[in-house]
Chain A
């Protein structure tokens, strides 16, 4: 079983839609969590860190549920430019990050 699991999608949504991704992690010792965005043939770019209290950055909201060991990312008012692969990351005390395989999002007109 992979340590970090994500639904690969693709999620195909119209512009303006709200879409949510979930990610589960198996290592209960994980302490730090992040969402990254990766465009085709590019490097991952940090989208946001995920804090225990949940955090919001514009149209993006991330939440952490330690009891159920999952994190989520909510994107409101989807834009065409949001089309990308979203990577979930969990890291433990050694700071070594474990990446999920990514969830593909396609936003269409």
Chain B
């Protein structure tokens, strides 16, 4: 396997503040990382694809100005939830692609960040 860390694991913030979540690939380099959110008893929803050294690609319906993604190095991507509101409360999970050969890859997930906006 491979290890992806995510920090913080849990955060409670007040409405209107910003929260930054970090995602790190610890034992491999990841040019591509993904950010998901998951509501209780629902499936993972892809928010954006984060590519090292370039702008993130956002899925339809995801506000890029609200969810700022920065993939500044081959092992770190960050997601900043700006001006958070209670409806942003969710489980945010990142994942990183690890290439196992020239054409094969596996995706490993971070442990997730549970965001509660009060």
Interface positions of A (Cβ within 8 A of B): 32, 34, 41-46, 49, 87, 89, 95-102
How many B residues, CB 8 Å from partner?
A: 21
- Cα distance A42–B91 when bound, in Å? 9
Known contacts A96-B46, A96-B49, A100-B43; A43 and B104 CB within 8 A of each other: no
Interface positions of B (Cβ within 8 A of A): 1, 32, 34, 42-44, 46, 49, 91, 93, 97, 104-112, 114
Residues of A within 8 A of B32 (CB): 95
Q: Which of B34, B44, B106 has the most CB of A within 10 A?
A: B44
Do the beta carbons of B34 and A42 come within 8 Å of each other?
A: no
Known contacts A32-B105, A34-B107, A97-B34; A44 and B44 CB within 8 A of each other: yes
Residues of B within 8 A of A87 (CB): 43-44
Known contacts A95-B97, A97-B34; A46 and B107 CB within 8 A of each other: yes
How many contacts between A and B, using CB within 8 angstroms?
44
7 cross-chain pairs, A with B, having the tightest CB-CB distances, nearest first: A101-B43, A43-B109, A43-B112, A99-B44, A43-B111, A44-B109, A43-B93
Residues of A within 8 A of B46 (CB): 96-99
Do the beta carbons of B111 and A42 come within 8 Å of each other?
A: yes
